[in-house]
Structure 1
Amino acid sequence: MKDDKSDKTPNWKSDFPIEKKKATHVSRREFAKYLGLFSGALAVGNGAIVIKSLFFPEENLKGEHFVCNEADVPVGEMFQFNIEGSATVPYILIHLEDNKWRSFEQKCTHLACAVRYRADINQIECPCHKGYFNADTGDVIQGPPPRALPQLTVVRKEGKIFVKASEKEQTV
């Protein structure tokens, strides 16, 4: 005759005879080991960032780079572009009133959200946290951004728009 206990116990329990309490228990030694490994991994990652910034600094933008034709961007509009051969930093070109042209990095200085030009208020807006920048200078008007947007110098030649590193950026 069969045992009553064997009828109530599933077959898989005999194949895996580990009690639940033992399986979920983590000893102090195991916890300290994983905490040490995790802390070490963070330290190595931070060290790699420091080494990269010290031995491989970012190069400043050199020369003039073609962006578009003047006719491609109407007054009050924004044009997004990337510069070939440089890091993957997006830029914006803004055609302001009085035929003024401005170019800035498209990454907000707060948390690197993409900024956009709003012609209705004549300001550059970061929609993530409602930060606003002056469209003429890139200076912070309102919100959490800690500093102005990095700016490029716009050069107009024969109906074409070029950008180059601003004089402020070259002296740094």
Structure 2
Amino acid sequence: MERKPQERESKKESGSVPFPEDNYTHNIRKAGERKLDRRGFMKMMVGAAGIFAVSTLPWGGLAAKELAGIGKRRYEPAKIADLNQIGVGEAVEFAYPGKHDSALLVRLSDNDFRAYQNACTHLKCPVFWSKEQGELVCPCHHGFFDVKTGKPTGGPPQRPLPEIELKTEQGAVFATGVKRYET
């Protein structure tokens, strides 16, 4: 049976599609035509950004705690050397706080000791004690550090060497902690 032209015209006007098709151009005025339009996409992106921001809050709290120095790290005391093994003006290399963290102890006088992590703060080259110059030297880029404060006195380094806290007892020198950078 053949359809009349009037029936075809009335179907077009009612908004129905004359044949089944998944092409979006034929159903623009249909309700629920697209599940994700521009507005829906933007809502989803703002929601995702919000979830990401909230999920990073614990890490931000840990970083703030670390930067503020609220949670001071505790290190196990470690024996560096006996007092009779180190002469005045001499230096001893040791590992602290971990076994791969190289450090340097310098005896300045009978009761004055200084210890620093001996990785240069410029590019992590090893730092050595120069008894002749009376300062710590980084040979890679000619950096120099004051042995009493660890602060740079010449060359490219801008930050002081991390200082290791010391304690002398029972005829030996012990490392007890690492001081924080002071800006």
- Answer yes or no: same fold by TM over 0.5: yes
Runs ≥4 residues deviating over 2 A: 54-61, 168-171
1:65 matches 2:113? no
1:116 matches 2:104? no
Match of 2:89 in 1: 76
SS in 2 for 1:62: coil
Q: Distance in 2 between matches of 1:107 and 1:81?
A: 12
Structure with higher Rg: it is 2
Shift of 1:71: 1.0
Which of 79, 88, 94 is residue 106 of structure 2 equivalent to?
94
1:143 matches 2:167? no
Larger relative contact order (Cα-Cα within 8 Å, sequence gap ≥ 6):
1
Q: Distance in 1 between matches of 2:74 and 2:145?
A: 23
Q: What is the Cα-based RMSD across aligned positions, in Å? A: 2.8
- Percentage of pairs with the same residue: 28
Match of 1:160 in 2: 172
Contact 2:121 2:159 in 1 (8 A): yes
SS in 2 for 1:67: strand
Q: Distance in 2 between matches of 1:109 and 1:96?
A: 22
Unpaired runs of 5+ residues, structure 1, are 1-53
Q: Distance in 1 between matches of 2:175 and 2:137?
A: 22
Contact 2:125 2:138 in 1 (8 A): yes
Match of 1:130 in 2: 142
Q: Distance in 2 between matches of 1:102 and 1:124?
A: 11
Shift of 1:61: 4.8
Residue by residue, what CA displacement relative to the aligned partner does 1:111-159 show, whole Å, maximum 9, x if unpaired? 1000011111110000111100000110110110120000011110021
Residue by residue, what CA displacement relative to the aligned partner does 1:32-70 show, whole Å, maximum 9, x if unpaired? xxxxxxxxxxxxxxxxxxxxxx69999935132111101
Q: Distance in 2 between matches of 1:163 and 1:65?
A: 5
Q: Distance in 2 between matches of 1:90 and 1:83?
A: 6
SS in 2 for 1:71: helix
Q: 1:97 and 1:90, CA in 2 relative to 1: closer, same or farther beyond 3 A?
A: same
Q: 1:157 and 1:119, CA in 2 relative to 1: closer, same or farther beyond 3 A?
A: same
Q: 1:118 and 1:170, CA in 2 relative to 1: closer, same or farther beyond 3 A?
A: closer
Match runs of 1:11-90 below 5 Å: 60-83=73-96, 86=98, 88-90=100-102
Q: Give the TM-score normalised by the residue count of structure 2.
A: 0.56
Q: Give the TM-score normalised by the residue count of structure 1.
A: 0.60
Q: Distance in 1 between matches of 2:73 and 2:103?
A: 15
